[in-house]
């Protein structure tokens, strides 16, 4: 860093840094100077990147961050501008307004606050007239697409006041991360943590989004991405495995959807996309799971690959391990389509009753006003999207590779107005994409070695 002196003053002028310094118990606030601080005297390390040259200050940052994590102290990283530099320090990195890193014995957990996509909306309606003989005439109106009003983002980190931002940070800092049950070993294979420490890097990244679908309904969505990077001595590969699970997609934040009657239902979720895509031609796809899943109550994902260890350097380990961990989840009333091609891993989770057309949600009975069909539980409650992709490359690959990781969710409100002779079927469609699309997650393949 070329000019360290003003940094402490800049930090004192940043209202979020000031508030965190006053509220958190014994925080260490980095002021840009080299340090050999005993972090056992502090509870958390805060680094504000707004005034830091991440490239020229990389050595000091690397020393500071590794010392903090070795002391089991969480990090609060504000205004990170260069995800590649961060990945060279932590193994993975991304741009973020506020990144919280919590260290555990064999992995780190990342929460990134301020991830906001564009909530989009379109509306449509079909006017129906019905004659005395029951014959119908349909008049379908075109949809108009528009961005939703700003209140849709009122729950995002960026739009919160400083006190609420601090409260959100505190809630994460002082909560315990539990590996989702689905990610815990269910088979007899080995896990990455069974390997020598230099051969694996294991991180968990939460990609979360919470916003208002209406003035009375809040959707809360949370996907945990498990990112494993593994180096193998024989075969001579490096593997990247990414698995998605987590709390899932909940259109009413654990409560009831705003409307749920015979002629009016919503907002419910009809479609979820999970997307993983390395931005490189140096990786090859080993497997993507699940494959297409239709008319099933549950499904299981499982991949398997061999990892070798150089026992001359690691005599207490076996020479070969089979990494195999299966996951099983419920998917009733949703069909899954695996759209992966090349290095792209992509899945659509579609509500079966509407995957052909949203108009199929309406039940049109003879000589009666149309109704909105009853909704299955996973359309209104918690839907988990369990997926897995494995890529591999030569074990000499040491570059930083960017990977797109994001999800998209679609919500609908469907209702009917009028009477049996002349009624109108309406829908309002809102969707949002959250995660790393234009700015990828950066993964440092040089962080593992044999």
Selection from 208, 237, 240, 242 nearest residue 222 by Cα: 208
User: How many CA atoms, within 13 angstroms, populate the side-chain half-sphere of residue 421?
Assistant: 2
Please give the DSSP secondary-structure letter assigned to residue 293. B
* Residues 25/43, Cβ–Cβ less than 8 Å: yes
Q: Would you state the pLDDT for residue 156?
A: 74
Q: Would you state the pLDDT for residue 1?
A: 36
Cβ neighbours of 324 (radius 10 Å)? 17
| CA end-to-end span of the chain | 33
Q: Is 9 helix (H, G, I), strand (E, B) or coil?
A: helix
Q: Is 65 helix (H, G, I), strand (E, B) or coil?
A: helix
Q: What is the pLDDT of residues 300-324, one digit of tens each?
A: 898 899 999 999 999 999 999 999 8
* Residues 437/230, Cβ–Cβ less than 8 Å: no
Q: What is the pLDDT of residues 366-394, one digit of tens each?
A: 999 999 999 999 999 999 999 999 999 99
The Cα 213–Cα 202 span in angstroms is 35
Bridging pattern class, strands 304-308 and 320-324: antiparallel
Write out the two tokens for 254.
Answer: 């654990």
Angle, helix 58-70 to helix 83-90, in steps of 10 degrees: 40
Spatial CB neighbours of 323, under 8 Å, sequence gap ≥ 6: 189, 190, 191, 192, 230, 239, 241, 303, 304, 305, 306, 307
Q: Would you state the pLDDT for residue 51?
A: 84
* Residues 407/384, Cβ–Cβ less than 8 Å: no
* Residues 386/434, Cβ–Cβ less than 8 Å: no
**Residue 290, preceding bond cis, omega within 30 degrees?**
yes
Calculated CA dihedral for residues 150, 151, 155, 157, nearest 10 degrees: 30
Cα angle 64-67-72, degrees, rounded to a multiple of 5: 125
Domains of the chain and any CATH numbers: 7-113 (no CATH), 120-148+186-447 (2.70.240)
The Cα 240–Cα 393 span in angstroms is 9
pLDDT in tens, the chain (450 residues): 333 344 555 566 789 999 999 999 999 999 877 667 889 999 999 999 988 877 778 888 999 999 999 999 999 999 999 999 999 999 999 999 999 999 999 999 999 998 877 788 899 999 999 998 888 899 988 665 554 554 454 457 888 899 999 999 999 999 999 888 777 766 667 889 999 999 999 999 999 998 999 989 999 999 999 999 999 999 999 999 999 988 899 999 999 999 999 999 999 999 999 999 999 999 999 999 999 999 898 998 988 999 999 999 999 999 999 998 888 888 999 999 999 999 999 999 999 999 999 999 999 999 999 999 999 999 999 999 999 999 999 999 999 999 999 999 999 999 999 999 999 999 999 999 999 998 999 999 999 999
Question: What backbone phi and psi angles, to 5 degrees, belong to 257?
Answer: -65, 155
The Cα 179–Cα 19 span in angstroms is 31
* Residues 223/246, Cβ–Cβ less than 8 Å: yes
């Amino acid at each position: 860093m070329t000019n360290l002196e003003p940094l402490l003053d800049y930090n004192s002028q940043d209202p979020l840094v000031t508030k965190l310094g006053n509220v958190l118990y014994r925080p260490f606030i980095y002021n840009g100077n080299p340090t050999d601080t005993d972090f056992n005297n502090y509870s958390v390390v805060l680094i504000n990147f707004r005034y830091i040259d991440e490239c020229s200050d990389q050595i000091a940052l690397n020393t500071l961050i590794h010392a903090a994590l070795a002391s089991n102290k969480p990090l609060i990283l504000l205004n990170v501008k260069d995800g590649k530099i961060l990945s060279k320090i932590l193994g993975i990195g991304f741009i973020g307004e506020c990144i919280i890193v919590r260290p555990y014995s064999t992995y780190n957990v990342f929460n990134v606050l301020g991830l906001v996509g564009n909530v989009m909306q379109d509306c449509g309606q079909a006017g129906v007239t019905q004659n005395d003989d029951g014959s119908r005439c349909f008049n379908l109106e075109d949809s108009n697409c528009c961005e939703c009003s700003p209140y849709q983002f009122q729950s995002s980190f960026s739009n919160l006041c400083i006190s609420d931002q601090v409260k959100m940070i505190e809630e994460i800092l002082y909560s315990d991360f539990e590996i989702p049950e689905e990610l815990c070993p269910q088979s007899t294979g080995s896990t990455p943590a069974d390997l020598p420490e230099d051969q694996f890097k294991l991180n968990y990244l939460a990609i979360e989004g919470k916003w208002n679908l209406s003035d009375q309904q809040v959707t809360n969505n949370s996907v945990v991405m498990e990112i494993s990077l593994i180096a193998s001595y024989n075969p001579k590969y490096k593997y990247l495995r990414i698995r998605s699970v987590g709390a899932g997609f909940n259109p009413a934040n654990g409560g009831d959807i705003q409307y749920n009657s015979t002629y009016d239902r919503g907002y419910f979720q009809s479609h979820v996309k999970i997307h993983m895509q390395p931005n490189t031609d140096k990786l090859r796809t080993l497997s993507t799971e699940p494959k297409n899943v239709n008319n099933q109550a549950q499904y299981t994902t499982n991949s398997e690959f061999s990892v070798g260890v150089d026992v001359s350097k690691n005599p207490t380990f076996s020479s070969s391990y089979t990494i195999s961990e299966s996951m099983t989840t419920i998917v009733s009333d949703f069909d899954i389509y695996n759209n992966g091609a090349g290095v792209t891993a992509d899945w659509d989770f579609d509500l079966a009753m509407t995957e052909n057309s949203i108009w199929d949600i309406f039940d049109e009975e003879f000589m009666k006003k149309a109704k909105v069909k009853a909704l299955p539980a996973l359309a209104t409650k918690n839907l988990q999207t369990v997926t897995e992709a494995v890529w591999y490359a030569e074990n000499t690959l040491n570059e930083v590779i960017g990977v797109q990781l994001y999800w998209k969710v679609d919500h609908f409100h469907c209702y009917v107005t009028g009477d049996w002779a002349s009624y109108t079927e309406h829908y309002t469609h809102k969707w949002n994409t959250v995660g790393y699309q234009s700015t990828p997650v950066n993964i440092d393949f040089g962080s593992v070695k044999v």
